[in-house]
Amino acid sequence: LVPWTANSAILAEEERNKRLSGRASNKALEDVTILATGGGVVAQDTEDLISISKRYGLPREEYEEMLRVCEYWNKTSVEETSWMWGQMHPEYDKLVRFKDAVLMSSDMEYGNRHGRSVNSYAIVFSVGFDGMKERCRELINKHAGDGRYVDEVAFWHGIIYTIEGVQAWMDRYVEQARELAANEKDPKQKKEFEDIAERLAWVTHNPPRDFMEAVQLHWTAQLEVYNEMQGSGFSPGRLGAVLYPYWKKDIDEGKIDRDFTLEVLECMRVKYTELEIATSTATTGILAGNTFNNICLGGQTPDGSAGDNELELLFLQACINMPTVSPTLSVLYDGKLSDRFLMKAIECNKTGAGMPAWVSNRVGIEYCMKYFGGENITIEDARSWSIGGCLEIQPGAIEHGKVGAGSYSASGINFINVPKILELTLFDGKDPRTGIQVLPPTGRELNTYEDVLEDFKEKFTEVVRVFEELYNFKTSSAFEVDQPMLLSALTSDCLERGRDIDHKGSRYNRCFTTWITGQVNVANSLASLKKNVFEDKAFTLDELKDAMLNNFGYESALKTGNFSMMEQTKKETNPDWERIQALCLRAPKFGNDNEYVDEIYTEVSHTFKNAAEAVTDVWGNTWVGSMLSTSTHGPLGQADIASPDGRLAGVTLADGGQSPYPGTDVNGPYAVLNSATVIDHSDFKNTQLNMKVHPASIKGIQGSRKMLQMIKSFMDQGGFHIQFNVVDSRMLKDAQKKPEQYRDLLVRVAGFTQYWVEVSKPIQDELIARTEYEEV
C-alpha cells in the first residue's frame, strides 16, 4: 500500500463509495469485476481481517492506523490531485460517463502511473550507491553558482537523500543477517547468513565485484523501486546480459559452478513471485495479482551480434526446474540466435509454464528507430531494447559501456472497451446496458455499411481523444506531488541532466500510450453487419438490435456464471433471434486467413493508430497505441451486451490484440498467423497473440522443431508477439471443478503467467474455450 499514490483502495466500502461519488471512478467497473477466490486471497471480511479490494487481508487492529495514514494524504496524493486537475478539462463530465458505462478501465492512471519500464542496473553496477552520491555532489558544486540550475541542484540533493534512505534500509538487513548468523548452530546455514551480511554490506556502498553481489544489488534495487512507486511492470530487462560478465568471470575462476547458479536463479524466481502490489478491485481484476516483471533473453548485443549466452540458458533451465508465475521470460527472437538456445526455449514452453513468450527483435528495433528517432536514438540503444511489463517495447541505453535502460514508463494505461464503442454507434451514443447517454445523439441514419463504419470510426477517435487529453491533465498533476527519485536515479541520463523522469530526464520519452481491448470482436461484428445486414439483407439493422437487446434469447453470462459461449442457458425461444444469431456466428471471423474480415481488422487497427497519434502528450510528442488485454477482456466483456458477431451478453471478449475469438479459428494455426500479420506491428508499442496447443502436438524433438518453425514463420511475416498455453483443455476443465488439486497449475493469460486458482472464472472460461491445436 502506497497511500501517497493511491489512498482510497484501503477504505471501507461505505466510505470509499462516498468519496468516489461524482468522479470519473471505476465503481461501475468494480460492480462487474469478478475476482478469483483461490490461492489464499482474502475475498471477504473475516473476524480478524478486513478484505481490501476483494483480495488483500488487513488485520483489523491495523485498519485505524492505515486509515489515519490515508487521511493524511487526502487532497495531496496522486489519486486526489489527479481528480482535481482532471476536473479542469471542459470535457471531464464526458470521462465520468465513459467510466460509468465501463467504456474504459481502470484507476491505473494514478494508482500505477509508473511501470511498464526497465530499471537500469548498469548505473549502480558501474559506480555503486556511494559513487552515485559522489557524482551528485560533483554536479552540485559545478552548478550551484548558476541560477539556471536551482531545480537541478534540488534534484541532486533529493537523489542523495533517497540513496541515504536506501542505504539505511539495506544496513538493517545487514544487521539482521549478522544477528541470524550469531544465533545459528548449523555451520552451513551460519556461513550462508555471514555471506549474506558481507555481500549486503559491500553493495550498500560499492559496485558489485562478483556474480552473487550483482544478483543481490539488482534485487535490492528492484525492491526499493517498488517501495517508492506503486507501479506495475518494473522489469529487469536484459538481466542475463547485465549479469553475464560477473558470472563468466566467477565461472572461469572456479568461484561458482552451474549447479550453484541454477539454485540462485531458482531462488530468484521464488522471490519475484512473492511480490504483490495492493490496488483497487478494478485494477486487481485487470492485473490478476501479477506484477509483470519481464526478463528478456536473446536479441542482439549493441554491436549487432547474437545476444544469447550460457547464463541465459540457465535462466531458461531455472524456469523449467522452478515454474513460477514471475519473473516472466521473453525471448527476443532473432535469426542470429543459436539453435541450442532456441531449442532450450522451446523445451521451456513445453513444460506448460507459459514461458517464454516470443517477440520479434526486428520489430522491436524498428519500433524504437521509428518512434524514438525524434530523440536521436542510436542503433546501439535500439538493439539494446527490452520489454517493460507485459509487452511494452522500451529502448535500451548504453551506460558506462553496459546495456542499460533509459526510457520513461509506458504510461496512460486505460484499456478502452472497443465493442462498447460499436454499441454506441448502433444505439446513437447511448449505452444499452445502463441507459447512460455516453456521447451526444446525432440522429445519423445508418443506411449503409459505410455509414456504420464512419460513425464507429468517429466515435472511436472521440473516445481516444477525450481519454488522452484528460490523462495529460492528470499526469501533469502527478508531476507536482510525486517525484520518482530512485526510479529516476536508475534511469539513464536523469542524474546527469539533473531532472527526474517526470521532467524529461530520461534519454527517451515518447512513451504515453493507450490500450484497447476487444478489437477482434469488433472486426468480427463489423464483418457480420456488412455481410448479413447490408450485402445479403438477411435481416435489418433494427431486427439485429432487437436480438442483441434480448441476448438472442439467452440468459446473461453474469446470471449463469458461464463466461464463454459454451454451456449457455436458453431463456426464451424466438425463431427470429435464433436465425439471426446463427447467421452472425457463421459470418467471416478473424483468424482464418480470410481477406473479407482481415481487411476490416486492419481498418479498425489503423483507426486506432491514427486516433492515438492525433493527440500530443505533456511533452509535445504524439501518443502511441498498444494492443493487448492483460485480463481486461473479462470485466469489459461483462459490461457489454450481445454483439453482432453472435457473442452473448457478459461473455468474455477475445484476448490479446490478434487472438481469434475462442472457437472461431477453424483453418489451423498458420491461418491465424496470416491474419495476425496483416498489420504493421512496428506501428504499435505492443501487439499480442495467444495460442493454445495440445502437448501431444509438439512431442519429442520433431515436435519442438515444428513449433520453432511456426514461430520463425510468424516472425518472418512481420509478427511481433506470440505466446503459448501447452495444455490439455480437459485438464483445465477438471481444474475448474477441483481447484484444490491444481494449486500449482500455471496458465498463460495475456502477456503474463498466473496460477490457475488465482485466475477469475470469466478468464478461466475463456482459456478453456480457446481453440486447442492438435497439429502445428
* CA–CA gap between residue 199 and residue 399 (Å, rounded): 24
389 contacts: CB under 8 Å, gap ≥ 6: 115, 116, 117, 232, 233, 235, 292, 294, 410, 751
Are 338 and 306 a contacting pair, CB within 8 Å? yes
Strand partners, 49: 59
Q: Which residue has the cell 540513496?
A: 163
> Mapping DSSP to helix (H, G, I), strand (E, B) and coil, where does residue 391 land?
coil
Grid cell of 11 as nine digits: 477504505
C-alpha cell at 669: 494455426
Reduced to 3 states (helix: H, G, I; strand: E, B; else coil), residue 594 is coil
Catalytic residue among 348, 390, 511, 584: 390
Cell 558481507, located at residue: 198
Q: Which stretch of DSSP H or E encloses residue 724?
A: strand 721-726
Residue 296 among the catalytic residues: no
> Rounded to the nearest 10 degrees, how much is the dihedral formed by the CA atoms of 551, 553, 558, 561?
-140
The grid coordinates of residue 776 equal: 502445428
What whole-number distance in Å separates Cα of residue 660 and Cα of residue 520? 7
Element (H, E) at 693: strand 690-693
Q: CA-CA distances (angstroms) from residue 488 to 9, 78, 97, 225, 752?
A: 26, 18, 35, 10, 26
CB atoms within 10 A of CB 685: 29
* Other residues' Cβ atoms within 10 Å of the Cβ of residue 611: 24
| 213 counts as catalytic | no
Q: What is d(CA 121, CA 748) in angstroms, rounded to the nearest whole number? A: 28
DSSP helix/strand/coil, 337: coil
Residue 295 backbone phi and psi in degrees, to 5: -105, 125
* φ, ψ for residue 572, nearest 5 deg: -150, 135
What is the identity of the amino acid at 772? E
All three cell numbers of 468, joined, read: 488522452
Cell of 372: 524514438
Q: How far apart are CA 392 and CA 379, in angstroms?
A: 19
User: How far apart (Å, rounded) are the C-alpha atoms in residues 614 and 625?
Assistant: 11
| DSSP 3-state of 593 | coil
- List Cβ<8 Å contacts ≥24 apart for 537-543: 538/580, 538/583, 539/576, 539/579, 539/580, 539/583, 541/426, 541/446, 543/576, 543/580
Q: Are the C-beta atoms of residues 128 and 207 closer than 8 Å to each other?
A: yes
State whether residue 329 is helix, strand or coil: strand
d(CA 478, CA 474): 7
Query: Contact, 633 vs 742, CB < 8 A?
Result: no
Cell triple for residue 506? 530520461
Q: Contact at 8 Å (CB) between 605 and 656?
A: no
- For 109, the enclosing helix (H) or strand (E) is helix 108-111
Residue 748 φ then ψ, to 5°: -90, 120
Asked if 526 and 604 count as a contact pair (C-beta separation under 8 A), the reply is yes
Q: Exactly one of 392, 613, 766, 772 is catalytic; which is it?
A: 392
- DSSP letters along 52-85, please? ETTTEEEEHHHHHHHHHHHHHTTTTSHHHHHHHH
Nearest Cα residue to 501 out of 490, 514, 488 = 488
**Phi, psi (deg, nearest 5) at residue 17:** -60, -40
Active-site positions read: 390, 392
